[in-house]
Amino acid sequence: MPRRRLLAGLAALALEAGGCRRRPVVERRPPGPIRLVFQHQPFLGDPSPLRQLFEDFERDNEGIVVATELLPSAPGAVHQYYLTALEGGSRDFDVFIIDVIWVAEFARAGWIAELSSAFPPAVVRREFLPGAAEAVIVGDATFAVPWYVDVGVFFRRSDSVPQAPRTYSELVALTRDAVAQRPGMRGYVWQALQSEGLVCNVYEAIWGHGGASMLGGRLLLDTAEGRGALDYLRALVACGISPGSVTSMAEEESRRVFQSGDAVFTRNWPYAWAEAESVGSAVRGRVGLSALPTADGSIGRGALGGYQLALNASTPAWKVDAAHRFIAHLTSAEANLAIALAYGRNPPRAAVYRDPRLLAGAPAIAGLLPLVERAEPRPVTPYYPMIDGTLAAEFSAAITGVRSPAEALRRAQAEVDHLMRGDD
């Protein structure tokens, strides 16, 4: 059976199981402290600030110890791991990170515990940014709590390009001028590797051409705006504005090229700003951060990203209160601030952007509030994990010239419609 169809089948089975959510396992609490296992991806940089958050929680919650386990950095690998572990009812971990695009899938499958008693939807909507709040509320229930948010943003070498381009044509012209002045420098690097990063870049270009993601529950792919987006991205590579190597670049590869001083522009997530401004960076003090350009010069909308904290539905009932307290601690305003200052991760609470400590310590992050508020979600559907592989494959075929943008979009539309109908 083809791998894509196998994964689609597994996801479909998970969706069908949505009405059978697991309840916390009821059993007698063993003697000794409560041990919470927290699984998360590593942050780049000094691990001490994150460890301090764990230590602060243990100090303030006597009788609870936190054991941490690191996950791979690649979201696809993490998703596949949880697909297997959670469907099998694993109890090896309690609190864990969950991508913004997985919440609906995991909630429908019954893999994550409902958190509404500790984090009522009304409170989540009041305390967190709108996009972040809606990402964790499924129906009328809370299934995760925002930890940090992401939004696609545009970086430039401010010593080469003082003002950010607002239109795609300005981007092309400024790239050519900057490269002419610095022979050997690459132009615009972004995430064109066949991956979720490419899907984000394409959707940002679709929105930049005035398009939308969905209408009436159907994905909008084979549209004039979609063709305009893929034509534009393909032309960047074909005309040399972006090097051919972007087709093998994900977030980290493009970040390293830009941070080494070898590119004029890059699209990435805000964490790349903290790395670009770190000690030893070749571009420290020479990085501009702005909204993405668009076809008509309107303010670009970046893709909404980020991670939430969820609770394993198989966690025993006697651990649940401790897990709730741990999630509340790691998603508090103080924790948001610490993670933003140390790792450049955007707070999911609007109030933190006005904190004087963030304004002084990370003004570029504080200045991102208007962009985070405008962040656009990828298609919001529990079927998304079934279709994102199709999107990445067809978008990649268009960018690399294997298929025309029009043909790639026709194929993607047909396959996505087929998967979302559940046809045989």
Higher pLDDT pick, 389 / 21: 389
- In tens, the pLDDT along 275-291 reads 999 999 999 999 999 99
State which H helix or E strand residue 343 sits in.
Answer: helix 333-343
Q: Residue 25 above 70 pLDDT? A: no
- Tell me what percent of the residues of the chain surpass a pLDDT of 70: 93
Sign of the dihedral through C-alpha 84, 104, 292, 204: positive
Assess whether pLDDT exceeds 60 at residue 11: no
The whole-angstrom separation of Cα 383 and Cα 369 is: 30
Task: Compute the distance between CA of residue 107 and CA of residue 384 in angstroms, rounded to an integer.
Answer: 13
The answer to whether residue 105 scores a pLDDT higher than 70 is yes
Over pLDDT 90: what percentage of the chain? 82
- Where are the CATH 3.40.190.10 domain residues in the chain? 3-149+305-373, 153-302+383-421
**Domain spanning 153-302+383-421: CATH 3.10.450.50:** no
User: What pLDDT digit, counting tens, does each position of 137-152 carry?
Assistant: 998 999 999 999 999 9
Note the pLDDT of residue 26.
Answer: 59
pLDDT at 102 over 50: yes
**How many Cβ atoms are within 10 Å of 46's Cβ, its own excluded?**
11
For residue 49, CA distances in Å to 55, 115, 174, 316, 340 come to 10, 27, 39, 29, 10
For residue 17, name the pLDDT band (cuts at 50, 70, 90). Answer: very low
Buried b / exposed e over 358-371, threshold 16 CB at 10 Å, is beeebebbbebbeb
| pLDDT, mean over the chain | 92
CATH of 3-149+305-373, one of 3.40.190.10, 3.40.50.970, 3.40.50.1370, 3.40.50.720: 3.40.190.10
Torsion 244-227-255-155 (CA) sign: positive
pLDDT(191) > 70:
yes
| pLDDT tens-digit map of 294-352 | 999 999 999 999 999 999 999 999 999 999 999 999 999 999 999 999 998 999 999 99
Is the CB of residue 257 less than 8 Å from the CB of residue 266? yes
**Strand positions, DSSP E, 126-276:** 137-138, 141-142, 145-151, 153-157, 186-189, 214-215, 218-219, 263-268
Question: Residue 408's closest CA among 398, 419, 418?
Answer: 398
Q: Specify the pTM.
A: 0.82
26-30, 89-93, 215-219: least confident range: 26-30
pLDDT of residue 379: 87
pLDDT of residue 78: 93
| SS3 of residue 398 by DSSP | helix
The pLDDT confidence band at residue 422, using thresholds 50, 70 and 90, is low
Q: Give the helix/strand (H/E) hosting 22.
A: none
Work out the angle at residue 193's Cα, subtended by the Cα atoms of residues 189 and 195, and round it to the nearest 5 degrees: 125
pLDDT band at 193 (very low <50, low <70, confident <90, very high): very high
Please check the confidence at residue 6 and state whether its pLDDT lies above 90: no
Report how far apart, in Å, the C-alpha atoms of 142 and of each of 19, 58, 102, 114, 156 are: 16, 25, 14, 6, 38
At position 3, the amino acid (one-letter code) is R
Higher pLDDT, 47 or 424: 47
Residue 28's pLDDT is what?
A: 82
